[in-house]
């Protein structure tokens, strides 16, 4: 029992000295400064493309609205002292979606969302 507790204590100390290293990134992260540039009812689709780049997905709705989705996905892997990277086991994944709704080519609304 003492060996088990000692082993767990050592494992905790080892992990405490660890950090995470970015292993994979897809898409562009939308910054607060970029969001502040978007004006409801005034920013056009072309201005949005110039500001944020092309969206990951563009969807035309039956209502005539166009939904643009900008996705940013990042995977970070646990890295031990000495540069040993542990892939897969304790990875942290982060996905951020920025959705913009256009009507007649002009921004009507936008918001961030998280995917489960």
Residue 65's DSSP bridge partners are: 103
Q: What are phi and psi of 64, to 5 degrees?
A: 100, -10
What is the phi-psi region of residue 41: left when phi exceeds 0, alpha when psi lies from -120 to 50, beta otherwise? left
DSSP helix/strand/coil, 63: coil
Q: How far is CA 76 from CA 20, 25, 51, 93, 94, in A?
A: 6, 9, 27, 6, 9
pLDDT tens profile 57-106 = 999 999 999 999 999 998 888 777 777 676 777 788 888 999 999 999 99
Query: Going from the N-terminus, what domains does the chain have, and what CATH number goes with each?
Result: 18-113 (3.30.1450)
3-state helix, strand, coil in the chain (%, to 5): 25, 45, 30
Note if the pTM is more than 0.85: no
pLDDT tens profile 52-69 = 999 999 999 999 999 999
């Amino acid at each position: 029992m003492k060996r088990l507790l000692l082993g767990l204590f050592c494992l905790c100390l080892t992990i405490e000295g660890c950090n995470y290293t970015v292993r994979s990134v897809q898409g562009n992260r939308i910054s607060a400064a970029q969001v502040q540039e978007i004006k409801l009812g005034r920013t056009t689709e072309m201005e949005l493309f110039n500001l944020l780049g092309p969206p990951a997905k563009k969807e035309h709705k039956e209502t005539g609205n166009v939904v643009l989705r900008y996705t940013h996905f990042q995977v970070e892997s646990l890295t031990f002292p000495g540069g040993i990277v542990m892939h897969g086991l304790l990875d942290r994944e982060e996905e951020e979606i920025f959705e913009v709704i256009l009507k007649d080519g002009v921004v009507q609304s936008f918001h961030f969302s998280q995917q489960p």
